[in-house]
Amino acid sequence: MRKKIVAGNWKMNGTLEEGQKLTSEIVNMVKDEVKGEVIIVLNPPYVHLQSVKKLIGDAGNIFLGAQNCSDKSAGAYTGEVSASMLASIGASYVIIGHSERREYFKEANEELTGKVKQALGNRLLPIFCCGEPLEIREKGNHVEYVTQQLTESLFGFSEGEMKKIVIAYEPIWAIGTGKTASSEQAQEMHAAIRKHLAGKFGKALASEISILYGGSCKPDNAEEIFSKPDVDGGLIGGASLKSRDFVDIIKSF
Ligand code: 13P
């Protein structure tokens, strides 16, 4: 059985106080309302990681994640944060290759391989993002585009390494636009991703990899999207900044 995961990507939002309030609310609501086996991951900005970790406390189903890490292990890289630093403060997950990092910080497939390597080498579970821009979707080349992203960044890893990677499919045209992919569009791509992974790593391994959907996922569309067989959860942006909405999305499973 593959893991069901709902991860909140806070992006560059919230002061320390706001992050603490949001975390406390989520922790309390999850304790009272969430039954079952969904894994919840909070991905605040770097500076809030330790305070969020403290507030998560012993909640066994809530984990800490970062939004990025360096592809280098240590050294003279001003402003960067290494995977070993993240592991040392109790992070379990790290988002890698978000489309905003690819677009604004010019992260390319090869560099992303290095980041995944660093994450795995420091026992962090990478949440590897992929997804196509609107013009590619309109041309009907979305499956080809996304599978190529996976090939270029991930196909050099061993089966043992691949098993630890979570995939997040986030169509760029659906991020922050309020225009979510339909559940059929999500299922089509998730199934194509799984088939692509099966071609390289085998069917059994591919069937164990969690593939999350991201892009304008809200309480009123999550249930429909999560009901699809190859959708194993969500990577949530805007709605993860509102405790009620985020917990309602978790409860959609
Ligand atoms: P929104 O949920 O705000 O569309 O963002 C999705 C996202 O980019 C999560 O990583």
Name the domain count of the chain.
1
Is 170 labeled as catalytic in the residue annotation? yes
**pLDDT tens-place values along the chain, 253 residues long:** 899 999 999 999 999 999 999 999 999 999 999 988 999 999 999 999 999 999 999 999 999 999 999 999 999 999 999 999 999 999 999 999 999 999 999 999 989 999 999 999 999 999 999 999 999 999 999 999 999 999 999 999 999 999 999 999 999 999 999 889 999 999 999 999 999 999 999 999 999 999 999 999 999 999 999 999 999 999 999 999 999 999 999 999 8
Give kind and range of the element (H or E) at residue 95.
strand 93-96
What is the distance in A from the centroid of ligand 1 to the CA of 10?
9
Question: What pLDDT score was predicted for residue 51?
Answer: 98
> Is residue 126 a contact partner of residue 164, using CB atoms and an 8 Å limit?
yes
Task: Note if the pTM is more than 0.85.
Answer: yes
Q: Residue 95 is part of a domain; what is its CATH number?
A: 3.20.20.70
Closest approach atom of ligand 1 to CA 177: 4
List pocket residues of ligand 1, CB cut-off 6 Å. 9, 98, 170, 175-176, 214-217, 235-239
What is the distance in A from the centroid of ligand 1 to the CA of 202?
30
What is the distance in A from the centroid of ligand 1 to the CA of 170?
8
Question: What pLDDT score was predicted for residue 101?
Answer: 98
Atom 9 of ligand 1: nearest residue by CA position: 237
Angle value at C-alpha 140, between 137 and 142, nearest 5 degrees: 55
Q: Quick one: tokens of 103?
A: 């677009």
Question: What pLDDT score was predicted for residue 183?
Answer: 97
What is the distance in A from the centroid of ligand 1 to the CA of 240?
9
Range of the domain at 127: 4-250
Which of the listed residues 9, 134, 252 should we mutate to test ligand 1's pocket, taking the one with most ligand atoms within 8 A of CB?
9
Is 107 labeled as catalytic in the residue annotation? no
Closest approach atom of ligand 1 to CA 235: 9
Q: Which of 100, 107, 111, 170 is catalytic?
A: 170
Report phi then psi at 130, rounded to 5.
-140, 165
> Is residue 125 a contact partner of residue 96, using CB atoms and an 8 Å limit?
no
